[in-house]
Amino acid sequence: MDSSRHLDPDRPHAAEHPVAGDASRVIVTRRTSYPRGHFIEPHWHARGQLVYAVEGTMTVRARRRAWIVPPDRALWMPPRTVHEIRTHSAVEMHSLYLNAPASAAMPAASVVLEVTPLMRELVVRAVALPAHHDDAGDDGLLMRLLFAELARLRRCALDLPLPASGDLARLCDRILADLSSRRPCAHDAGEMGTSTRTLYRRFLAETGITFARWKQQARLLEAIRRLAGGAPVTTVALDLGYGSTSAFSTMFRRSLGVSPRDFVAGHGRGR
């Protein structure tokens, strides 16, 4: 993952991407396909957005935070959140855009949500509805059920917070450039000319998580990206500095509730 670009909501090139559709509707849907490696420049929407790929994996970045979004996960972003997207495989994206009242009922900050089988089918059906479907009929009932299920989705930690200070941000850049390295924290502190205790304290204050937890999370997100791109489980484990495939699998299962091989199988099926 590339941490060298820290998005700023006031950056002039982050333009609004208007949402096409009936402005009177609570939820407007959109379906788009992107090839592997596609990059969507920083932008924002007036509506809140649920980004969900029924197939493929992508990284979404906003100011001081990045998320990996594999199948069975979706990213909720409140209105006017400046973000950019990069795909790591061919992606079939289904987006839901919520108006202001509906967005207010969602989390106040961006978060990855675990998509249930019911939610997946509701989203697939919703994006296939005609633009002028009948809100008073069965189509409207479908959209109301979709919103009710959306509000129940469980949050999952697939984000990577980024520090604001320049020296800590540069340290994160170096770590992300070589995630196979298992350098002791004292070495990182020495490069910055500070003590290990001060490094820990500053990192926790700026990111909300410990330095060790941040490095583990960075490796997890990079593992998801590589597995989604087709890399073998053993190769990913060794490249990221794990002493064995079993140690890597234990970390992966503890974080995602599924083994790396089951994740790869589910990704291939576009679950």
Query: What is the predicted pLDDT for the residue at 245?
Result: 93
Fold of 164-268: Arc Repressor Mutant, subunit A (1.10.10)
- Residue 49: CA count within 13 A, CB half-sphere: 23
Query: What is the predicted pLDDT for the residue at 267?
Result: 57
Joined together, the tokens standing for residue 246 give: 């079993």
Query: What is the predicted pLDDT for the residue at 237?
Result: 94
Q: Give the residue carrying structure tokens 């809140």.
A: 48
3 state SS of 245 = helix
Would strands 73-77 and 48-55 be described as parallel, antiparallel, or unpaired? antiparallel
pTM of the entire predicted model = 0.78
The Cα 102–Cα 159 span in angstroms is: 24
Query: What is the predicted pLDDT for the residue at 75?
Result: 96
For residues 220 and 258, the answer to whether their CB atoms sit within 8 Å is: no
Q: Where are the domains of the chain?
A: 15-156, 164-268
CATH placement of domain 15-156: 2.60.120.280
Tens digits of pLDDT across the chain (271 residues): 544 444 544 444 689 999 988 888 999 999 999 999 999 999 999 999 999 999 888 999 998 888 988 878 899 999 999 999 999 889 999 999 999 999 999 999 999 999 999 999 999 999 999 888 888 899 999 999 999 999 999 988 788 998 988 899 899 988 888 888 888 888 889 888 899 999 999 999 999 999 999 999 999 999 988 887 788 999 999 999 898 999 999 999 988 888 999 887 765 544 4
